[in-house]
Amino acid sequence: MDIPRIFNITESAHRIHNPFTPEKLATLGAVLRLEPGTRVLDLGSGSGEMLCTWARDYGIVGIGVDMSQLFFSQAKLCAEELGVSDRVEFIHGDAAGYVTDEKVDVAACLGATWIGGGAGGTIELLAKSLRPEGIILIGEPYWLRLPPTEDIAKECFANAISDFLMLPELIASFGDLGYYVVEMVLADREGWDRYEAAKWLTMRRWLKANPGDDFAKEVRAQLTSGPKRYVTYAREYLGWGVFALMAR
């Protein structure tokens, strides 16, 4: 079981697979006022940076589920590196339908809400693992500016303009689902640059090491057009943030 291979290539050197910097992740942990022993579930936990740094810095205990064999392995290494292997558990598998045996204080899905078929379905899934008065964290893109055409939306990692909302509509949508937004931390351009630009050096090195690979053509195409495409479109039009929700 694994995710599409292209992500395991382009994001193999990422510790954080979204437009958050380490500082933003730390800010998120701080604004949530996490207490030692807080139980955190993370669906689509990637390379484990959030759970591992929060375990080190705030004393949380965590469970992460991720379908990428590579990111799952990196998450376990991260836990060892940061000395928190006794407090965080990583599971390699499909997080769709994953519910914890014991309820958690914080249930998160950052940048992987397709796991529940969209933000609404993912919130419903996370709620099944959450104790009463617990916090749900959702990391989602939104439009900074509405793309003037569907073609421009397609250049921004979307299939259509309707894939994402503007920030006020996104915030309102959480209310419609029966939740208060109780905190939020928004990515900035530096974070987007770290997430996107880090792929370019990774791809260049991968191409050097794997010239005959079946994916070389696709990776070369992405490396050739990716930087200009990114600065022209996603960098101008796309925002990303993590929203902390509590039931109304």
Contacting residues toward ligand SAH, per CB under 6 A? 3, 16-18, 44-46, 49, 65-68, 71, 94-96, 110-112, 115
Cβ pair 39, 106 in contact under 8 A? yes
Nearer to ligand SAH, 4 or 145 (CB): 4
Question: What are phi and psi for residue 137, nearest 5 degrees?
Answer: -115, 125
- Cβ 165 to ligand SAH, closest distance in Å? 20
- Cβ 152 to ligand SAH, closest distance in Å? 23
Distance CA 24, CA 38 (A): 19
Nearer to ligand SAH, 82 or 112 (CB): 112
Nearer to ligand SAH, 71 or 164 (CB): 71
> Whose structure tokens read 């905190």?
183
Determine which helix (DSSP H) or strand (DSSP E) holds 179, and give its type and residue range. Answer: strand 179-186
In 103-219, DSSP assigns E strands to: 104-110, 130-143, 179-186
Q: Which residue is nearest to ligand SAH (CB)?
A: 46
- Cβ 212 to ligand SAH, closest distance in Å? 26
Distance CA 54, CA 61 (A): 8
- Per the DSSP assignment, residues forming a β-bridge with 66 are 92
Distance CA 177, CA 124 (A): 9
- Cβ 151 to ligand SAH, closest distance in Å? 25
- Cβ 219 to ligand SAH, closest distance in Å? 18
Nearer to ligand SAH, 16 or 223 (CB): 16
7, burial (CB in 10 Å: exposed 0-12, middle 13-18, buried 19+): middle
- Cβ 146 to ligand SAH, closest distance in Å? 25
How many CB atoms sit inside 10 A of residue 166's CB? 14
Distance CA 192, CA 130 (A): 30
Nearer to ligand SAH, 72 or 172 (CB): 72
Nearer to ligand SAH, 96 or 197 (CB): 96
